[in-house]
Chains A and B, each alone.
Chain A
Amino acid sequence: MARRRRAADADAGAGLPVDDSPRGQVVDARLHVLDRQVVDRDGVPVCTVDDVDIAGLERGRYADGVRDTGVLVAAAPAGADPPEPPRIGALLSGAVLWTRTFGGDPRLGHLARVPWSDVTDVDVVLAVARAAGGYEANWSENWVRERFIARIPGGRHAAD
């Protein structure tokens, strides 16, 4: 969805290329966001960035306001003129990986989202503010833990 889109005012981490334009540091979604690991505040992996959700887009209409142009354009909420630029809304994980790989549209209910507002650092990993267990992307980890691993003797104890 967001290949090559440049998210201008992202909270960029150290080491990213600095753009001299007034926009500040540049994050290339494909190079610096997609397929990187997401870790929580304690360094525990949350997921891999399987795709990126762009907020602030809507279907373009011809001047008659009815016919669909088939192109996504910046949404223009009432009173906002010019329209606000599209932004990264959330990092996506899960089933969206297969639609990104093999094509098709992901079902909205199957999207595990990590809100972009949680992202505290964009470096070789993306750091998020909350604990890994609290994210939807981690449901299968929680499920497997409660159903199987924690029930095997020694499953909750550190190795000796």
Chain B
Amino acid sequence: MLGLFLGVLTAIGGFVDIGDLVTQSVVGSRFGLSLVWVTVLSVVGIVVFAQMSGRVAAVSRRATFEIIRERLGPRLGFANLGASFLINLLTLTAEIGGIALALQLATSIAPGLWVPVAGAAVWIVLWRVKFKIMENVVGIVGLCLVAFTVAVFLLKPDWGQLGHSLVPSVPSGEHPSTYWYYAVSLFGAGLTPYEVFFFSSGAREERWTPRDLSLSRANVFLGFPLGGAVSLSNCVCATLVLLPLGIQVSSLSQVVLPVAQAGGAILVIVLILGIVAATFGAALETCLSSGYTIAQYFGWSWGKFRRPAQAARFHVVLIVSLLVSLGILATGADPVQVTEASVVLSALALPLTYLPILIVANDRQYMGEHVNGRVMNAFGLVFLALIVVASVASIPLLIISGMGA
């Protein structure tokens, strides 16, 4: 059981990090369940590509950014590195802010005071705690987020009516461009590239070999659907409580409201514990990913399984990323707004990340007998096409909809 938390921790970054927590709540309160199909689609997509990247890492022992550099060459690889690194950095900034916001909910102490504490805690874990312990503790505590799912049941919804509202449609009063902007954002967030960077590098940290292929599969098929289900529960909560009241979500405290109404103080405490773990986990995931991507592109020694002195440049990247994030937060930037810029960067990073994975998963020199089967390739190609369409559409939609205003 304890071997399964790499997938859970990875999925946290994609589906229930601070940006997603707020976005799903916004979507639920504005669009009801009419965008649920996007999250379901992105769960299938990330399962397909995380499964491929985990298999490549177990069989060929190469993590994803090594493959990106090898297949795309220095130029396109560098373009992807730049975009992916900025996504990591912006998300890391948002998550540290998110930890502080969650701790504010619990303690009423201003987030500005929690930010340095959160940053120091993240660094200590990266510097001194074993990968396995980090992954298990954060993954287990992160499971407290099922408080969203518990809340859905406690709210005793009319299931038939909920089922009917799953039909994709633009609600009256919303412009189609806004609907599609949120669709593209949710899809991009579900498939955000640091998930495969972290998952494949985590597989190397844990020294997976071809014998661990079933472990890889179990991680993928447990972690991502779980993350997606929790994320959708949040959306359903907002639909049930916030939508009828016409509440426009703009802060984390509003995200917690439906859970408070459903389960009272105890369920809120559990949820906040889950949110702290999820934002902390996403901070670890994005910070490590910033180190993994740069080290793998340049061929540096990397990984938490080595002593810091034996992966010196990798640890410098982690420290510098953290300091830059704290610097951005010190300017008073809104952590949730910071992640919105990632949509633009994802347009470049998503296709350039998933194409090389698909190619190498079919390369017999890397994969031997473990190359993709036809079904896997069919899924891979369909999702690659969807990713390209979403990438091309994202920037015009962002401009037309005024960032979903």
- Cβ-defined contact, A141 with B300, below 8 A: yes
A145 at interface by CB-CB < 8 Å: yes
Tell me if B206 counts as interface (CB < 8 A to partner A): no
Could you name 20 residue pairs across A and B whose Cβ atoms are closer than 8 Å?
Answer: A15-B364, A15-B365, A34-B73, A37-B70, A37-B299, A45-B302, A48-B69, A49-B299, A101-B75, A124-B62, A141-B300, A144-B313, A145-B310, A145-B312, A149-B315, A154-B308, A155-B307, A155-B315, A156-B307, A159-B130
- Complex interface: chain B residues within 8 A of A160 (CB): 128-130
Given A140-B313, A154-B127, A16 contacting B365 (CB threshold 8 A): yes
Q: In the docked arrangement, what's the CA distance between A69 and B302, Å?
A: 46
Residues from chain A with Cβ under 8 Å of B315 in the complex: 149, 155
Contacts of A144 in B (CB 8 A): 312-313, 316
Shortest Cβ-Cβ A-B pairs, 8 listed? A48-B299, A145-B312, A149-B312, A47-B299, A144-B312, A15-B365, A150-B309, A159-B130
Given A38-B299, A124-B62, A159-B129: A141 and B70 interface contact (C-beta under 8 Å): no
CB-based contact B312/A35 at 8 Å: no
Q: Is B77 an interface residue (CB 8 A)?
A: yes
What is the distance, in angstroms, from A91's C-beta to the closest C-beta of chain B? Answer: 10
- Interface 0/1 of B127-163, CB less than 8 Å to A: 1111100000000000000000000000000000000
Decide if A61 is an interface residue (CB 8 Å cutoff): no
B78 at the interface (CB under 8 A from A): yes
User: B270 to chain A: closest CB distance in Å?
Assistant: 29
Is the pair A48, B297 in contact by a Cβ cutoff of 8 Å? yes
Nearest chain A CB to B353 CB, angstrom units: 16
Residue of A35, A124, A149 touching B309 (CB-CB under 8 A): A149
**Which residues of chain B are near A93, meaning CB under 8 Å?**
299
Q: Does the CB pair B307–A157 fall under 8 Å?
A: yes
Please, which residues of chain B bring their CB within 8 A of the CB of A50? 74
Report if B114 contacts A (CB, 8 A).
no
Question: What is the distance, in angstroms, from B64's C-beta to the closest C-beta of chain A?
Answer: 13
A97 near B365 (CB under 8 angstroms)? no
Q: How many A-B residue pairs have CB under 8 A?
A: 93
List chain B residues, Cβ under 8 A from A124.
Answer: 60-62, 365-366
Q: Mark A4-37, 1 if CB is under 8 A from B, else 0.
A: 0000000000011000000000000000101111
Contact B74 A100 (CB under 8 A): yes
Residues of A within 8 A of B (CB): 15-16, 32, 34-38, 44-50, 93, 97, 100-101, 123-125, 132, 140-141, 144-145, 148-150, 152, 154-160
Query: Cβ of A100: which chain B residues have Cβ within 8 Å of it?
Result: 74
Most buried by A among B66, B129, B312, B365: B312
Q: Which B residue sits closest to A144, measured CB to CB?
A: B312
Q: Taking CB as reference atom, which chain A residue is nearest B134? A: A159
A74 to chain B, nearest CB (A): 27
Looking at A45, A47, A144, A150, the one whose CB has the most chain B CB atoms below 10 A away is A45
Partner of B308, one of A36, A49, A155: A155
Is B301 touching A45 in the complex (CB atoms < 8 A)? yes
Determine whether B298 belongs to the interface, using a CB cutoff of 8 Å to chain A: yes
State A105–B22 Cα separation when bound (angstroms): 50
Q: Of the candidates A36, A38, A48, A149, which one forms a contact with B316 in the assembled complex, judged by CB atoms under 8 Å apart? A: A149
A159: B residues at CB distance < 8 A? 127-131, 304, 307
Query: Which of A148, A154, A159 neighbours the largest number of chain B CB atoms within 10 Å of its CB?
Result: A159
Chain B residues 31 to 85 lying within 8 A of chain A, measured CB to CB, are 60-62, 66, 69-70, 73-75, 77-78
Which residues of A are found within 8 Å of B73, using beta-carbon distances? 34-35
Contacts A141-B313, A144-B313, A156-B309 given: A132-B70 contact, CB under 8 Å?
no
Are A36 and B70 within 8 A (Cβ)? yes
Contact indicator B307/A158 (Cβ below 8 Å): yes
Closest-by-CB residue of B relative to A51 is: B74
CB pair A148 B307 closer than 8 Å? no
Whether B327 sits at the interface, judged by CB under 8 Å, is no
Q: Which residue of B lies closest to A97 (CB)?
A: B74
Give A56 to B299 CA distance when docked, in angstroms.
Answer: 28
Assess A154 versus B128: contact at CB under 8 Å? Given A47-B299, A124-B365, A141-B301. yes
Q: List the A side residues contacting B129 at CB < 8 Å.
A: 159-160
Question: Hey, which chain A residues are within 8 Å of B176, CB to CB?
Answer: none
Give the complex CA separation of A77 and B110 in angstroms: 76
List chain B residues, Cβ under 8 A from A141. 300-301, 312-313
CB of B368 within 8 A of chain A? yes
Q: Report whether A47 and B298 are in contact in the complex, using a CB–CB cutoff of 8 Å.
A: yes
Chain A: CB-nearest residue to B307: A158
Partner of B312, one of A32, A148, A157: A148
A37 and B302 CA atoms in complex are apart in Å by 13
Give bound CA distance, A159 to B297, whole Å. 25
Q: How far is the CB of B82 from chain A (nearest CB, A)?
A: 12
The answer to whether A35 and B77 touch across the interface, beta carbons within 8 angstroms, is: yes
